[in-house]
Chain A
Amino acid sequence: MQTDQLIADLAGQATRRRQELALPLWLAAVLAPLLAFAVFMPMLGPRANFVASLSTVRFDMKFVLAGLLAVAALAVLAALARPGRPVSSRMKWLAMPALVLLIAVGVELLVVPEAFWPARAIGRNAINCLIAIPTMGAPVLVLFLYALSRQAPTRPAMSGAVAGLAASGISAFFYAAHCSDDSPLFVAIWYPLATAILVAAGAFAGSRLLRW
C-alpha cells in the first residue's frame, strides 16, 4: 500500500467515533479517591480517636503531605498523558510535598528531645504502612494506567512511575487516617518507602502496557 492510499483510507474514517470505553484522566482522578476509600473502609477504617486527632498538627500534616503529593503527581501525569505537552515545568511541583516534609521533619527534630527520635521514627506500624499503602494504591494505579492507555504517553515508563506516585498519594491520604504514628520522622521514612514500591510497579507496568 502506498502512503497516498493509506491517507485516503484514514481520511474516510474521519467521522468514525471510537466505540471503546473512554476514561478521561480527570474522571480517573475523581474516581481514584472513591476507589481507595472503598478498599480502605473494609480493610482498615479510621482509627478510634480519629475525630479528636483532627485537632493535632502532626495528624493533619499527614493529610496535607499526601494530598500535595497526589495533586502534584496528577498535574504531571496530565502533561505526560498527551504528546508534546511541556512536562519539565510541572515536574517542579513534585518538590512541594518533599519540601513541606523536610520542614516538618526539621521542626520535629527541634521540638522533640533526641532520646525519643528512634522511637518516633520506627513507630509501631512500619510494616503495616509498607503493606497497606501499596495494597490500597494498587487498584488506583491500575485505574490510572488504564486511563493513560487511552491517551498517548510518549514516555511510558516515566508515565507509569508518576501514576504510581499519584496512586501512592491518594492511598497514603486514607492510610494516614488509620495509622497511629503521626510523627514526621515516621512519615519521612516509611511513607516514601511504601511510595517507592508503587512507583517501581508503575514504571515496570508502564514500560510494558503503555506503549502504542
Chain B
Amino acid sequence: MQPASSSKLQGLDDLLRRALAGDEKAYRTFLTDAAIIVRRFAAQRMPRHSAGFDVEDLVQEILLAVHAKRHTWRPGEPVGPWLFAIARYKAIDAYRRRGKRIEIDIAGMGDVFEDPAGAPTAVAHDVSRAVASLGGRQRAVVSALSVEGKSISQTAEELDMSEGAVRVAFHRGLSAIARKFGRN
C-alpha cells in the first residue's frame, strides 16, 4: 500500500469514530473518502469487460453495507481491514449474483418471444427497448418494478438484493434511460 493511502486510512479511523458519535459532517467526509478507496478497489478487482457489470453499482452497494454494518467497527481498531473485508465480501457477492442474473434475463426474454398477445404495440416496444438498453442488474430491477409492476420488497427478494440496493439500481436505471432516450 502506498504511503498516501495509508495516511488516508488513518484519517478514516478518526472520521468514523466521530461519525458513530453522531457527527454528520464527519460521516459524509468518511463516506466520500471511503467511496474513492472502494471505487479504486472495485475497478481493479472486477472483470472490466463483462457486460452488465457496473463499478459504480458495486461502490454503492459497498457503501450501503458499510452504513448498515457500521456498528461492527469498534473505535481503536483500524478501519482499513474492516473496510476492505466488507468491500471484498460485496464484490464476491456481486460477482456470484451476476452469474444468476444471466439466467433471469434469458427467462425474461423467453416470455417476450412466447407472448400470445401478438405483436407488441409501439409503446410496449419502446419500453422494452429502453429497458433492454440497460445493464443486467438495472435491467432486472427496472423491468420488475415498472414493467411487471412488482413491489420493491418483492423485487429485492427475487433478485437477492437489499431494498436499498433495489432503490439505487432503479434510480440509476431510470436516469440512464432518461439520458439515452429522453428529450432529444
Binding site for B on A (CB under 8 A): 1-3, 6-8, 10-15, 18, 22, 81-85, 151-152, 154, 211-212
Contact = CB atoms under 8 A, between A and B. Distances in A.
A211 B93 contact: yes
A15 B24 contact: yes
Interface stretch (B43-51, B79-87, B111-119, B145-153): B79-87
Given A7-B63, A8-B28, A11-B27, A84 B22 contact: no
A2 B57 CA distance: 10
B156 interface: no
Majority secondary structure, B binding face: helix
Majority secondary structure, A binding face: loop
B168 A7 contact: no
A10 B67 CA distance: 7
Contacts of A85: 81
Q: List the 7 closest pairs (A to B, CB-CB), nearest first.
A: A84-B81, A83-B85, A11-B28, A84-B85, A1-B171, A152-B69, A84-B82
A212 B77 CA distance: 22
Interface of B: 19, 22-28, 31-32, 35, 56, 59-60, 63-65, 67-69, 71-74, 77, 80-86, 88-89, 93, 162, 167-168, 171-172, 175
A14 B29 CA distance: 12
